């Protein structure tokens, strides 16, 4: 696995990761950090990730088509244009991008397990549809899976044993997905409480707070001209100087 990934990187970038240990260490560290960031904070940065994925996919497609039509120079130009178009498409059609990634991952996994392209295609279509229906949950799950895979690749390049790689990969996927689902639930609950306070807060406050009694009009005594005191028990006014009710 490590040798296959290293050969792929050498083909794409022109570097031999098998002999350049410093470059291999930097690439492994970058994959590990990016994988952890995706696994545990994918919902916050997923739009940037989708932009990067769109740029990579668009660039590869543009480079392949341009090279086949007019050679490496045309391929480089079409690759740059394809990266720009792919990034824009994946930003503005973010749901489609997440669905494509989920379908692609499902296709790769099912094809590797069963060896059937038809079953893999069916699984990809189902994953794409479910992602569209439950986009917020899908974002957390897909980014956790991708992050776990990047963590596994990074640990492979650190020459870790396969058991450690598999355990770390699964831990990043499971714990990252659980963390993001908990954060999503807390965010939904917070928004629900804010909406509830916004709609029912003033009504509830008005129902709990008793109305203030109307102000008592001021009256004066007909005899001495002094101010009368209102006595609620008798619903009458009393003059302290004359010591009598009116």
88 with 54: CB under 8 angstroms? yes
Structure tokens, 40? 């545990």
DSSP notation for 176-237? HHHHHHHHHHHHHHHHHHHHHHHHHHHHHHHHHSPPPPPPPPP-B-TTT-PBPEEETTTTEE
Structure tokens, 226? 């002094």
pLDDT the model gives residue 73: 85
Q: What are phi and psi of 134, to 5 degrees?
A: -125, 65
Rounded distance, CA 101 to CA 172, Å? 18
Rounded distance, CA 2 to CA 9, Å? 11
Q: For residue 131, with 0-12 CB atoms within 10 Å meaning exposed, 13-18 middle and 19 or more buried, which class applies?
A: buried
pLDDT the model gives residue 202: 52
Mean pLDDT of the chain: 78
38 with 146: CB under 8 angstroms? yes
Q: In the chain, at which residue ranges do the beta strands (DSSP E only) sit?
A: 229-231, 236-239, 244-245
Rounded distance, CA 26 to CA 28, Å? 5
pLDDT band at 205 (very low <50, low <70, confident <90, very high): very low
Q: What are phi and psi of 176, to 5 degrees?
A: -65, -45
| Single pTM value for the model | 0.51
Rounded distance, CA 240 to CA 75, Å? 104
Domain ranges of the chain: 2-184
Beta strand 244-245 pairing with 236-239:
antiparallel
Q: What is the largest CA-CA distance in the chain?
A: 115
Q: With pLDDT > 70 as the criterion, what percentage of the chain qualifies?
A: 79
Is residue 215 over pLDDT 70?
no
pLDDT the model gives residue 227: 82
Rounded distance, CA 244 to CA 222, Å? 11
pLDDT band at 54 (very low <50, low <70, confident <90, very high): confident
Q: With pLDDT > 90 as the criterion, what percentage of the chain qualifies?
A: 6
Task: From residue 13, give the alpha-carbon distance in Å to each of 5, 49, 73, 149, 216.
Answer: 12, 21, 16, 21, 88
């Amino acid at each position: 696995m490590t040798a296959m990934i290293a050969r792929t990187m050498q083909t794409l970038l022109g570097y031999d990761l098998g002999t350049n240990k410093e470059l291999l260490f930097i690439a492994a560290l970058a994959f590990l950090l990016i994988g952890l960031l995706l696994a545990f904070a994918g919902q916050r940065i997923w739009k940037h990730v989708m932009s990067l994925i769109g740029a990579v996919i668009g660039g590869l497609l543009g480079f392949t088509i341009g090279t086949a039509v007019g050679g490496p120079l045309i391929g480089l130009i079409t690759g740059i244009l394809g990266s720009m178009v792919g990034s824009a498409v994946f930003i503005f059609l973010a749901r489609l991008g997440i669905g494509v990634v989920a379908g692609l991952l499902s296709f790769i996994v099912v094809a590797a397990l069963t060896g059937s392209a038809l079953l893999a295609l069916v699984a990809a279509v189902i994953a794409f549809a479910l992602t569209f229906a439950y986009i917020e949950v899908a974002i957390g799950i897909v980014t956790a899976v991708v992050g776990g895979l990047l963590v596994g690749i990074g640990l492979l390049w650190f020459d870790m044993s396969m058991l450690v790689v598999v355990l770390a990969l699964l831990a990043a996927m499971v714990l990252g997905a659980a963390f993001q689902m908990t954060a999503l639930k807390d965010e939904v609950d917070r928004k629900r409480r804010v909406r509830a306070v916004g709609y029912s807060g003033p009504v509830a406050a008005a129902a709990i707070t008793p109305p203030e009694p109307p102000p008592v009009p001021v009256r004066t005594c007909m005899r001495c001209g002094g101010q009368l005191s209102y006595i609620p028990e008798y619903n009458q006014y009393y003059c302290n100087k004359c010591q009598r009710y009116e």
